[in-house]
Amino acid sequence: MILDAATTTPLSNYNFETKAYLHSQMGPWLQQNSAVPCQEKINCPPDLYIIEINLEDSPAQINGQPLSTIPTDFTLPEQAAEQLIDAGQQLLRNHPEFKRLLHDLYAEMAGFR
C-alpha cells in the first residue's frame, strides 16, 4: 500500500503539472501563431484538440468494482481487459473534443475546410 502511494502520487503529480502547463500555454501559443498569415492553407496555425479521458468517469464496473480501481498489472483476465478497452472507447467517443476532431477531419476530407 505504501509502495503504491509512493509510486502513484508522483506520477499523478507529474501528469497534473503537465496538463496544467499545456492548458496554460495553449492560448498564448495559438495567439502567437495566428499572427502568421494563412493563405491557401499554407502557414496556417494548427487546430489543437485536447482530449483527456479517465476511467474514473466511466460508470461501468467489473464485479461491482469501479474500473479505475482495477489493478492494471502486467496481466489482466481477458474479460477485464476487454471491459476496460470498451469503457475507454465509450469515453473517447462521447468526449466533445473528440467529436469536434472527427467533425473537422470529415469536413476536411470532403473539401469543406
Percentage of the residues of the chain whose pLDDT score is greater than 90: 14
pLDDT value of residue 43 = 67
pLDDT band of 101, cuts 50, 70, 90:
very high
pLDDT band of 4, cuts 50, 70, 90:
very low
Show the cell assigned to 96: 466533445
pLDDT value of residue 92 = 93
**Residues near 83 by Cβ (< 8 Å), separated by ≥ 6?**
60, 62, 67
Average pLDDT over residues 20-38: 75
**In whole angstroms, how far apart are CA 5 and each of 9, 37, 85, 101?**
6, 49, 25, 36
Higher pLDDT, 15 or 54: 54
For 43-100, what is each residue's pLDDT tens digit? 677 778 888 888 888 888 777 888 888 876 678 888 888 988 899 999 999 999 999 9
Higher pLDDT, 6 or 38: 38
CA distance 53 to 95: 8
Q: What angle do CA 69, 86, 83 make, to 5 degrees?
A: 50
3-class secondary-structure state, position 66: strand
pTM score of the predicted model: 0.66
